């Protein structure tokens, strides 16, 4: 019988498998640890998110360019993200205060449309909703955590991105500065 204990090829497959498993665990841990952690505001500027594509609630293709002309708040949320669900009632209140002057778009990431629709109804979301099942818009905005909220000015340029939960006070302050032209 051959001695395989010193054979380099024998050790290679388990190492590759272990390496892949460690990479998967590290990536999953990073994503899960980011969910809900109120990360620092990340100022991002420019047109990186202008025209980011998503799917409307009715299944039509759309882009954020359709909102140009007024500031836009884009909030990425999902049923599995407890921080997302926690911040939504605050977003509804802020939206209702600023509705004529600021557009809001809630983009659901990865959930089945019916699950997301039922949850949106339960949460009382009154602003426009869409879906980003492939994460196309999420990536276009440079998002790295859930929830992620992005503020765009009336020209469609990104002026601020929040990685993690945003309070009503934070959002209100940022919107006031954006509307005053000081952000």
Give 74's pLDDT tier (boundaries 50, 70, 90).
very high
pLDDT at 167: 94
**Of 24 and 90, which is predicted with more confidence?**
90
d(CA 93, CA 34): 25
| Lowest model confidence (mean pLDDT) among 4-8, 53-57, 60-64 | 4-8
Percent of the chain whose predicted confidence (pLDDT) is above 70:
72
pLDDT at 100: 87
d(CA 172, CA 90): 10
Pairing of strands 128-131, 53-56: antiparallel
Q: Tokens 């050790």 — which residue? A: 11
pLDDT at 51: 81
Which tokens is 79 given? 């049923």
pLDDT at 4: 52
- Residue 15 phi, psi dihedral angles, 5° rounding: -65, -45
Question: Please, are residues 163 and 144 in contact by the beta-carbon 8 Å criterion?
Answer: yes
Q: Is the pLDDT of residue 26 over 60?
A: no
Give 55's pLDDT tier (boundaries 50, 70, 90).
very high
**Domain 35-180 architecture:** 3-Layer(aba) Sandwich (3.40)
Residue in 170, 144, 49, 45 with CA at minimum distance from that of residue 105:
49
pLDDT tens string 117-138:
999 999 999 999 999 999 999 9
**Of 33 and 181, which is predicted with more confidence?**
181
Which tokens is 40 given? 């620092």
Which whole number is the average pLDDT over 20-45?
A: 40
Which whole number is the average pLDDT over 124-153?
A: 93
Give 9's pLDDT tier (boundaries 50, 70, 90).
low
Extents of the domains making up the chain: 35-180
Question: Please, are residues 159 and 183 in contact by the beta-carbon 8 Å criterion?
Answer: yes
**Residues 116, 121, 124, 129: is their CA dihedral positive or negative?**
positive
Q: What angle separates helix 82-98 from helix 113-123, to the nearest 10 degrees? A: 60
């Amino acid at each position: 019988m051959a001695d395989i204990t010193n054979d380099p090829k024998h050790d290679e497959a388990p190492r590759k498998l272990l390496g892949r498993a460690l990479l998967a665990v590290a990536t999953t841990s990073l994503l899960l640890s980011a969910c809900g952690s109120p990360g620092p505001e990340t100022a991002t500027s420019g047109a990186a998110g202008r025209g980011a594509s998503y799917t409307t609630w009715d299944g039509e293709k759309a882009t954020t360019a359709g909102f140009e002309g007024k500031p836009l708040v884009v909030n990425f949320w999902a049923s599995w993200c407890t921080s997302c669900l926690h911040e939504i009632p605050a977003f509804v209140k802020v939206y209702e205060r600023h509705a004529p002057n600021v557009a809001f778009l809630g983009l659901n990431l990865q959930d089945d449309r019916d699950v997301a629709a039922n949850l949106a109804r339960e949460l009382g979301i009154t602003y426009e909703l869409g879906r980003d099942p492939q994460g196309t818009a999420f990536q276009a905005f440079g998002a790295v955590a859930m929830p992620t909220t992005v503020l765009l000015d009336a020209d469609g340029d990104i002026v601020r991105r929040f990685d993690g939960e945003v309070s009503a006070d934070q959002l209100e302050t940022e919107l006031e500065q954006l509307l005053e032209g000081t952000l």
